[in-house]
Amino acid sequence: MLHTELMITLACIFGFFMAWGIGANDVSNAMATSVGSRAITLKQAVIIAAIFEFLGAFLAGGQVTSTIRGKIIDLSALSHAPELLVFGMLSALLASGIWLLIASYRGWPVSTTHSIVGALIGFGVMNLGVKAIYWREVIPIILSWIVTPLIAGIFSYGIFRSIQELILNHPNPLQRAQQIVPFYVFIEAFVISVVTLTTGLKHLGLEISTAASFLYAMLIALMIMLLSYFILGRIRFTQNNDRHIHFVNVERLFGVLMLFTASAMAFAHGSNDVANAIGPLAAIVDVIQSGGMVGIETETPRWMLLLGGIGIVIGLATFGYRVIATIGTKITELTPTRGFAAELATATTVVLASGTGLPISTTQTLVGAVLGVGLARGIGALQLNVIRGILLSWVVTLPAGAGICIVIYTLLRWIF
């Protein structure tokens, strides 16, 4: 292939740009409930994302990367012209990055998965026709955009209702919270640990049986639960019989707990959505380094995950505040208890889906969870105009990604 060094350089730049867009839009969504409820600051959110996005990408990101990388388009159909695949993947990365830049600037919480999958479909249909698309892979992805927000909404509704019944409606909410909260911590730690042990460690060359994974996850969750007991025991609350003061203290307690949920959400996001930037980049490098062989799959290099992780964190730090304002403050009023319910539901849904290799939309999952929390307080707690705008941005994203990709692909073909 001609211009191999230039193609790899462009792939890295476009992949980094796409990762930046993920950070500006999707990671801000993941952190929006924590920041919007004032449980953590934006600076703290960036630090948490920097740590746990890397952990999620390294430990549990490879399976989803494989899906984005070669299971949307029939790559074998391009074996006679590998340069077309390179141009197509470059176009998909740049198109998705451009759309995410536009959406993030406008404060629209769109789906990076919608964007990259739409771009890949646009490229595939333009060059190879409808039959070249693996619709058996695409259709479950499309269905997941409906199913996962619904599941997350049900989870968050149930979690927040349990907080209301078990804690907030109790005669002594603060005392009750100190007793109950560690069990929520246990559930969250167990879910994250199971997924990490059963899928993530395979990428580090470690094989653990399912039974052993559940046992280890149980032990890890118990340790974290005991740690939460210790932390909660060291927090000093204002002693007062005023029930309002009790509620304030309960919210403070859940504010501390949201450090756990924010970390879990960052891990969940890293394990799933870093693939949107790394998948096409890996496909380009595979084709070029193999001398034009199409359809081969090698292990995703660590430097790609590093590139994606850095881009994600920079995107959150620079443009993330715009989408945080939409998700964190404009759909419904969030407090630490409500934000915790939404984040725990989202983390559980996204990480479990990541374990199946399905590239779901973190954005739509979180919005579904926030809607579930709002509905637990009644339909009047939701800002319906904002929700309509968000739904419209979701509809526009897929065709926008496809259209921009086709334009960029045409330009690349003309230039080279």
**Predicted confidence (pLDDT) per residue in 68-81, tens digit:** 555 677 666 677 77
Q: What is the mean pLDDT of the chain?
A: 80
Is pLDDT of 24 > 80?
A: yes
CA 112 – CA 362 distance, rounded (Å): 8
What average pLDDT does range 13-37 have in this prediction? 85
For residue 319, how many other CB atoms are within 10 A of its CB? 21
CA 170 – CA 13 distance, rounded (Å): 55
Residue that is written with structure tokens 């899906």 in the block: 67
State residue 411 phi and psi, 5-degree precision: -65, -45
- What are the pLDDT digits (tens) for 80-135? 777 788 888 899 899 999 999 999 988 888 888 788 888 988 888 887 777 777 77
Q: pLDDT category, 287, cuts 50, 70, 90?
A: confident
Percentage with pLDDT > 90 across the chain: 14
- What are the pLDDT digits (tens) for 229-250? 887 777 776 666 667 777 888 8
CA 39 – CA 339 distance, rounded (Å): 9
- What are the pLDDT digits (tens) for 303-353? 887 888 788 888 888 888 888 888 887 888 888 898 889 888 887 887 677
379, amino acid identity: I
Radius of gyration of the chain (CA): 22
What per-residue confidence (pLDDT) applies to 200?
Answer: 52
What per-residue confidence (pLDDT) applies to 16?
Answer: 93
What per-residue confidence (pLDDT) applies to 272?
Answer: 64
Q: pLDDT category, 17, cuts 50, 70, 90?
A: very high
CA 111 – CA 391 distance, rounded (Å): 11
Distance of CA 405 to the CA centre of its chain: 23
Among 237, 236, 227, 299, CA closest to 263: 227
25, amino acid identity: N
- Residues forming beta bridges with residue 73, ordered by sequence position: 133
Do residues 63 and 354 lie in contact, with contact meaning Cβ atoms separated by under 8 Å?
yes
Residue with more model confidence, 405 or 54: 405
Q: What is the DSSP string of 155-186?
A: HHHHHHHHHIIIIITSSSHHHHHHHHHHHHHH
- What are the pLDDT digits (tens) for 159-173? 999 999 999 888 888
Q: Give me the residue spans of the domains in the chain.
A: 4-415
Q: pLDDT category, 357, cuts 50, 70, 90?
A: low
Distance of CA 104 to the CA centre of its chain: 15
Among 63, 78, 64, 65, CA closest to 123: 78
47 membership: H or E segment, kind and range: helix 42-60
For residue 179, how many other CB atoms are within 10 A of its CB? 15
Among 17, 49, 19, CA closest to 32: 49
- What are the pLDDT digits (tens) for 177-195? 888 888 988 987 887 777 6
Percentage with pLDDT > 70 across the chain: 83
What per-residue confidence (pLDDT) applies to 128?
Answer: 76
What per-residue confidence (pLDDT) applies to 160?
Answer: 93
Any idea which of 45-59, 139-153, 195-209 has the lowest mean pLDDT? 195-209
What per-residue confidence (pLDDT) applies to 406?
Answer: 92
For the chain, helix (H) and strand (E) counts, in that order, are: 15, 0
State residue 350 phi and psi, 5-degree precision: -70, -45
CB-side neighbour CA atoms (13 Å) of 403: 6
Distance of CA 371 to the CA centre of its chain: 17
Do residues 347 and 267 lie in contact, with contact meaning Cβ atoms separated by under 8 Å?
yes
165, amino acid identity: E
Structure tokens at 300: 């995703």
What per-residue confidence (pLDDT) applies to 351?
Answer: 67
Among 155, 215, 158, 222, CA closest to 185: 222
Q: pLDDT category, 198, cuts 50, 70, 90?
A: low
pTM of the model: 0.82
